[in-house]
Amino acid sequence: MSAGQIDPAALAALERSAQNLLNAGRFDEAEALLAPSLASGTGPLRLWRLMAAALRPQGKLAGTRAIQEMLVANLPGDYPIRFDLAETLLLLGEFERGWREYRYRYSLAHTTQYERKVQMPRWEGQRLTGKTLLIHDEQGYGDTFQFMRMVPWAKARSGARVVLEVNAEALPLARRLGGYDELVVRGELPPAFDQHCEMMSLPMAMQLKLTDLPGQVPYLSADPQRVEHWRARLAHLPRPLVALVWAGRPTHGNDANRSMALARLAPFAATGASFVSIQKGPAEAQANEPPAGMSLLSLSDEIRDFEDTAAILEVADLLISVDSSPVHLAGALGRPVWVMLPFVPDWRWLLGRDDSPWYPSMKLYRQPQRGDWDSVTRALASDLKRLVAKTPRRATP
């Protein structure tokens, strides 16, 4: 029986088996299971969708992209497929089409809660002299910290009066950003406006290219009074002082792939650095039982908000973290940050490079193969030893 003649019962069974393998993270087995039915280059689109889901986590992005483009061509109204293609294109650094496809990020199971039903036109990059433009955040804190850099760019491009709306947690940092005319907190009624733009739609409106990055860095700053508080609080710790985050938000769809247990950072213990935990959420309790020999002070209970986090990052010599909001905050502050990335990372980290065009003060450490955090932590420990060797062992000034 040819690929195009799979009977309905056999097709349903094949789909179930492939989906079970994907759910179990057995991506190579899912690929092998699907391949015979798709070997001719034809076959049900449902199987091709599963094949793309099997290839991408293995880092087979050329094949993933080809399948996703075929699916978009055949199912242009299927927004989840278009969103998947957007993430692949952006990961490959193909910003022009990637940003266009990224506008389909709404109406998905995990993004419906973020969508704003705004009854005014979305800004598309044109001049708006004499008009008001509302720019509002939409997703996670890291997204807000990353794309706040574009607010002053949008004001310069549009010529408009810009109203910036952000979540309450980012509001104090936004006050020191500049590049807008009025600041409001999400949940309050904004003033009248003529057009609006989500913060993460600014790249599409302004046709952002890799060569436009990073712009002025730092573009966020810590509160000086908070900095002095944390400088005094941490004054007894020898340098270098390294802040740690080992787990992201558990509700994030990719959290199992990007987070780890503190125990995985055991190679850091022998480096001689002083560590502070700025981990928040369920994983913060792990700081009470650090790896043997690690000098770790947990600050989690003392951190009230991102103002505290920003101030700690100003005092610390370095942040080492998984892909989470503090890495964007550190990058936006221009502070040194080393990021531990999974084998196939989120699109914003691109591929095959140990630096980030978004943040000049950042270094990326990538898994050489899926799930291999040990190689990452060994590389970090080696670099950390070199940092310790050239840092005077003095307490915080």
- Report the distance separating Cα 55 and Cα 31, nearest Å: 7
List of residues 6+ apart from 348 with CB closer than 8 A: 90, 146, 358
Q: Given this model, what pLDDT does residue 115 score?
A: 57
Nearest to 337 by CA among 305, 282, 380: 380
Q: Given this model, what pLDDT does residue 135 score?
A: 97
* DSSP β-bridge partners for residue 138: none
Between the alpha carbon of residue 265 and those of residues 102, 178, 246, 387, the distances in Å are 35, 38, 8, 17
The alpha carbon of residue 347 and the mean position of all alpha carbons in its chain are separated, in whole angstroms, by: 8
Those residues of the chain that have pLDDT short of 50 are 1-3, 396-397
Check if CATH label 3.40.50 holds for domain 120-208: yes
- Report the distance separating Cα 337 and Cα 310, nearest Å: 13
pTM for this one?
0.93
Q: Which CATH superfamily is domain 224-389 in?
A: Glycogen Phosphorylase B; (3.40.50.2000)
Q: Collapse the DSSP code of 235 into the 3-class scheme (helix H, G, I; strand E, B; otherwise coil) and give the result.
A: coil
Nearest to 225 by CA among 334, 328, 314: 314
DSSP 8-state class, residue 289: S
- pLDDT tens for residues 342-387? 999 999 999 999 999 999 999 999 999 999 999 999 999 999 999 9
Q: Given this model, what pLDDT does residue 382 score?
A: 98
Is the alpha carbon torsion for 72, 144, 219, 201 positive or negative? positive
List of residues 6+ apart from 199 with CB closer than 8 A: 135, 136, 137, 138, 143, 144, 147, 148, 150, 151
Q: Given this model, what pLDDT does residue 88 score?
A: 98
Q: Given this model, what pLDDT does residue 2 score?
A: 41
With beta carbons less than 8 A apart as the criterion, state whether 150 and 203 touch.
yes
With beta carbons less than 8 A apart as the criterion, state whether 246 and 283 touch.
yes
Q: Given this model, what pLDDT does residue 1 score?
A: 35
Q: Given this model, what pLDDT does residue 105 score?
A: 86
Domain boundaries, the chain: 3-109, 120-208, 224-389
- Report the distance separating Cα 325 and Cα 320, nearest Å: 12
Q: Which residues of 307-327 are buried (b: 16+ CB within 10 A; e: fewer)?
A: bbbbbbbbbbbbbbbbbbbbb
Q: Given this model, what pLDDT does residue 111 score?
A: 59
Query: In CATH terms, are 3-109 and 224-389 the same topology?
Result: no
CATH, domain 3-109, list 3.30.2000.20, 2.60.40.1220, 2.30.30.60, 1.25.40.10 = 1.25.40.10
